Amino acid sequence: MEILVILVPLALMLGGAGLVAFLWSLKSGQYDDLDGAAWRAIADDEPPQEVPAKR
């Protein structure tokens, strides 16, 4: 049962890291536009810069 001394703090630390990540994502405005974010995931990437046609 001594393993609890390691496992319990470890579990709490992982959970805490999740909470910190959530608070950070909230602060950086990632929940401001959920509809838009849903679409952005499948949007095409920026088209490559137009290369002048070879002559």
Site string for other proteins, 11-30 (x = CB under 8 A): xx--xx-xx--xx--x----
Give, as one character, the DSSP assignment of residue 43.
Answer: S
Distance CA 21, CA 27 (A): 10
User: Contact, 46 vs 40, CB < 8 A?
Assistant: no
Among 32, 48, 50, 51, binds other proteins (CB under 8 A): 32
Distance CA 33, CA 38 (A): 9
**10 scored as a contact of other proteins (CB under 8 A):** no
Q: How far is the CB of 53 from other proteins (least distance, A)?
A: 21
If the CB atoms of residues 1 and 53 are measured against other proteins, the closer one turns out to be 1
